[in-house]
Every structure is written in structure tokens, then in C-alpha cells.
């Protein structure tokens, strides 16, 4: 066989091998890119799913609040409410050492804003002996209390912050509404016998809020009522019903 012919066959075989190798690499790169995109999609969807779950859990808490006539009285005059579906030992692992909550503010027409998401620190009275934690709600009675939430990070609802936070279970029938904030608990004994309590190290959860609304927002943006998420409507409507003055 002529040498030239042998060389041509060798070169042709090398080119075919390179082509096959290139196709294999391209296919592997494509698969890796698809896998990476899928992984990114899964990661980005997790905060939105977590936020949606919090809203759903908060709805159950509002149903509890609605069953309390005195709490309904508070909500009728309230400027806002911080709902914490699970606080304390039962909430460990949520992402904060106290729990996770969401804030809704009452508009001038009596309707409620969409939720803004927060992570919470500790109660100044701590969990009482035997209390495993549970749902709590902080009813904000005035603009002074609401203003704390516009600070976004590391603020408190406490005497140190210039706010009176009253234990709901210690309110007399005729003193509903006393204090800047009234703290309600769905767990008997969670606040113990303390008349005044506090909640420290409250932080705005930017990641969950952005994921829930699909854009970057501040607490003030949500307070202005210019954004919405249809998934929050059941919660907003339930709060509207709970805060409606009944004759």
C-alpha cells in the first residue's frame, strides 16, 4: 500500500476521532448546563415555597385569633399584626433562633396589606417551664409600633425600644388595647405570669420577601400597598373578617 494513501487514512481516522470526541464533550457540557439550570431553578423555588408555607400557616393562626372576642376587639383598632405560626422549641431549624413571622398592616380603608417576612430572636421572658412553644401574634396598636418594622434589621418590640408590650392573657376585660403592642399566645403559659414582655433581634427577611413577590422590596414598599400576591388573599380576607366591627 502506498505511503501517501496510508497517511491519508491515518489523518482521516484522527479527524473522525476528534469529531466524535468533540460531540461527546459538547453533549456532556449540554447535559451539565441543563442540570445546573435545573438545580438553580430548584434552589430559587425553595424560598418561594417556604414563604407560601408561612402564609398558609399564618392563616390557621388568624382563625384562632378570630375565635377570641377580646382579640377581635384589639384587631378592630390595630395598625398591624405580626403573626408567628410557630415560636420557640418547635420552631428551631426554621432559620432563626426564635422563629419566623410575617407582618401585615391595616390600610386606611380597613383592608390589610400583603405580608412582609421576618425572622425573630428571643422573648425577654423566655419560654416558660413546660411550654414547648407555639403560635404567637403581636398586635400593633399604633404607628409608633409599626415604625419599628420599617427599620428592617435588628430592632425590638420591648421596653428598651420605648414600647410597652403587654401580655394579652394579663389584660383585664376593660383594658384591651393598653400598650403599644399586645402579645397573644396560642400556648397556655408560654408568657408565664409576666405582665410586660418583649421580642428582640427582629430582622426583615429580604430573601423570602423577594421570592414571594418576584421583585426586590422593602418593608415600606409593602406597607404602601403597591404590591400584591394572589396567594395571600385568603390570609388578608381572614384578617379583614377578624377585624370587622360586629354589631
Residue 159 CA neighbour count, 13 Å, CB half: 7
Cα gap 12→24, rounded to integer Å: 18
Cα gap 55→49, rounded to integer Å: 10
Residue 35 inside a domain? The answer is no
What domain range includes position 73? 48-242
User: Lowest-pLDDT range, 5-14, 78-87, 103-112, 191-200?
Assistant: 5-14
Residue 146 inside a domain? The answer is yes
Residue 2 inside a domain? The answer is no
Q: Which three cell numbers stand for residue 241?
A: 373578617
Residue 71 inside a domain? The answer is yes
Which residue do the cell numbers 408561612 mark? 54
Contact 102, 58 (CB under 8 A): yes
Residue 84 inside a domain? The answer is yes
Q: What is the pLDDT of residue 181?
A: 92
Counting residues of the chain whose pLDDT is more than 90, the rounded percentage is 32
- Summarised one tens digit per residue, pLDDT across range 11-59 is 445 544 544 445 444 454 455 444 444 334 334 468 889 899 999 999 9
How many domains are there within the chain? 1
End-to-end Cα separation, the chain, in angstroms? 108
What rounded mean pLDDT belongs to the chain? 77
Residue 154 inside a domain? The answer is yes
Residue 128 inside a domain? The answer is yes
Residue 25 inside a domain? The answer is no
Amino acid at each position: 500500500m502506498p505511503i501517501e494513501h496510508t497517511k491519508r487514512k491515518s489523518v482521516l481516522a484522527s479527524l473522525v476521532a476528534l469529531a466524535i470526541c468533540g460531540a461527546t464533550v459538547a453533549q456532556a457540557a449540554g447535559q451539565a448546563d441543563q442540570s445546573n439550570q435545573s438545580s438553580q431553578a430548584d434552589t430559587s423555588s425553595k424560598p418561594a415555597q417556604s414563604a407560601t408555607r408561612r402564609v398558609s400557616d399564618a392563616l390557621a393562626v388568624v382563625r384562632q385569633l378570630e375565635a377570641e372576642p377580646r382579640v377581635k376587639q384589639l384587631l378592630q383598632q390595630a395598625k398591624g399584626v405580626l403573626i408567628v405560626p410557630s415560636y420557640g422549641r418547635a420552631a428551631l431549624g426554621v432559620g432563626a433562633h426564635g422563629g419566623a413571622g410575617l407582618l401585615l398592616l391595616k390600610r386606611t380603608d380597613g383592608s390589610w396589606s400583603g405580608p412582609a417576612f421576618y425572622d425573630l430572636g428571643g422573648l425577654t421572658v423566655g419560654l416558660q417551664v413546660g411550654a414547648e412553644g407555639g403560635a404567637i401574634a403581636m398586635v400593633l396598636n399604633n404607628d409608633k409600633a409599626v415604625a419599628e418594622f420599617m427599620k428592617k434589621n435588628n430592632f425590638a418590640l420591648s421596653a428598651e425600644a420605648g414600647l410597652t408590650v403587654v401580655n394579652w392573657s394579663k389584660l383585664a376585660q376593660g383594658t384591651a388595647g393598653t400598650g403599644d403592642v399586645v402579645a397573644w399566645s396560642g400556648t397556655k403559659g408560654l408568657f408565664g405570669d409576666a405582665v410586660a414582655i418583649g421580642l428582640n433581634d427582629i430582622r426583615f427577611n429580604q430573601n423570602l420577601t423577594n421570592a414571594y413577590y418576584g421583585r426586590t422590596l422593602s418593608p415600606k414598599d409593602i406597607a404602601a400597598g403597591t404590591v400584591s400576591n394572589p396567594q395571600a388573599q385568603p390570609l388578608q380576607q381572614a384578617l379583614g373578617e377578624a377585624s370587622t366591627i360586629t354589631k
